[in-house]
Amino acid sequence: MDAAPSANPFGEGSAGNWRRFVASSDGSGNAPAEASAFAVHMLNMLCPPTLDVDIVSHCNLNCAACCHFSPIAEPSFLSPQDYARDLELLARVEDVGKFFAAICLMGGEPLLHPELPAFIRITHELLPDARVRVVTNGTLLDSASDSFWEAMLEPNTDMLITPYPIGLDYEALEERVRARGVDVSVGGGLSASEEENYFLRTPLDETGSQDATESFVACPLGGHTMQLLDGKIYPCNRGALLDIVNERFGTSFAHEEGDYLALGEIGSVEELDSFRRTPRPMCRYCASSIAERIPWHRSSCDAEEWLMRPDERFHPSA
């Protein structure tokens, strides 16, 4: 096996568009299509994963069904010191910086963190081969600090602005960011158009009675957007962050050892790659088979945005 997964076969920046295409039954990117979920999963497996780091738990947009659970998270900030400690452990793995498509500093909304420039610097210092990406909803860019813009000019640093139908002129915003010399793109599979912007609501089943393998292969997150959290790497954001749901709704989603790799115990990038490609025990919580595309809207923070509704409950073998 290669040391790192193969590059995106559809060209730089186009994987999101392909995912939108195959995730629709008519190819328009608009219609629900459960049957294509497996195709999205397979496309993701062809591309190198990102390593996502939530430097802020909360967000100023509060999108319904956010898979980082930001609308229901207690506001919190990761400390640069804790981040550096984790990254030092990760950096012991040979070629790990090149293994990930990018180390994504995100959240929540990362520009809410007053020390965002320090996170960019730390990543470059400890993982000099890695690409550093700031993933932002763009709403705070016009008031960002000089030190942020300076850090964004470090080599191998870029920005992904994820658009939402909130009346922001993303084209003009992208031009302003590019005029500062920053490598920027707008997209990530989302759109500023109300007709096209949807979120995937995958209900969480507290009973854990879903088929973990079926859930995993129908999941667009697993093994593609890996998550660094508290000294561990998880295959996905949603699974890693289940404690936010527990704290908010009093649920009892639990992690097992097989759900993550402890940073100090990762021997090679091959181990990471194999880990990302296989279902985890926590996949039994995700009802991927009844995931639904919902139009983007602000969260009301109701449990039903994330948890299975009574009318959705079914026996997996029925």
| Structure tokens belonging to residue 284 | 């039994």
- Looking at the Cβ atoms of 136 and 157, the one nearer to ligand SF4 is 136
Residue for token pair 């759900």: 259
Q: How far is the CB of 34 from ligand SF4 (least distance, A)?
A: 14
137 binds ligand SF4 (CB under 6 A): yes
Residue of 239, 230, 232, 227 lying closest to 263 (CA atoms): 232
C-beta nearest to ligand SF4: residue:
222
Give every strand in the sheet of 50-54, ordered side by side: 183-186, 157-161, 132-136, 102-106, 50-54, 225-229, 232-234, 261-262
Interface with ligand SF4, residue 221, by CB under 6 A: yes
Rounded Cα distance, 304 and 318, in Å: 23
Write each residue from 2 to 41 as x if it is in contact with ligand SF4 (CB under 6 A), else as -, in one continuous string.
----------------------------------------
Near ligand SF4 by CB under 6 A: residue from 103, 105, 280, 291: 280
Residue 288 contacts ligand SF4 per CB under 6 A: yes
Distance CA 56, CA 79 (A): 9
Residues 6 or more apart whose CB falls under 8 angstroms from that of 287 comprise 202, 203, 204, 205, 210, 215, 308, 312
Near ligand SF4 by CB under 6 A: residue from 37, 55, 61, 308: 61
Residue 236 sits in the site that holds ligand SF4 (CB under 6 A): yes
Task: Name which position in 70, 157, 191, 197 contacts ligand SF4 (CB under 6 A).
Answer: 70
Q: How many CB atoms lie within 10 A of CB 188?
A: 16
How many chain residues bind ligand SF4 (CB under 6 A)?
Answer: 26
Considering the complex, what minimum distance in angstroms separates the CB of residue 190 from ligand SF4? 9
Contact 249, 281 (CB under 8 A): no
- When asked if residue 283 is in the footprint of ligand SF4 (CB under 6 A), the reply is yes
Q: Tell me the window of 8-16, 81-89, 216-224, 246-254 that interacts with ligand SF4 (CB under 6 A).
A: 216-224
Determine the distance from the C-alpha atom of residue 305 to the mean position of all C-alpha atoms in its chain, rounded to a whole number: 18
Q: Would you give the end-to-end CA distance of the chain in angstroms?
A: 39
The 3-state DSSP class for residue 132 equals: strand
Of 32-40, 55-63, 72-80, 265-273, the window that binds ligand SF4 (rule: CB under 6 A) is: 55-63
Rule CB under 6 A: say whether 235 interacts with ligand SF4: yes
Contact 270, 292 (CB under 8 A): no
Q: How far is the CB of 70 from ligand SF4 (least distance, A)?
A: 4
User: Which 8-state DSSP code applies to residue 166?
Assistant: S
CB of 8 to ligand SF4, least distance (A): 20
- The footprint of ligand SF4 on residues 104-123 (CB under 6 A) is 107-109
- Asked if 56 interacts with ligand SF4 (CB under 6 A), we say no
Torsion over CA of 185, 158, 54 and 58, rounded to 10 degrees? -50
Taking the least distance from each CB to ligand SF4, the nearer of 180 and 255 is: 255
Residues engaged in binding ligand SF4 (CB under 6 A):
59, 61-63, 66, 68, 70-71, 107-109, 137, 215-216, 219, 221-222, 235-236, 238-239, 280, 282-283, 286, 288
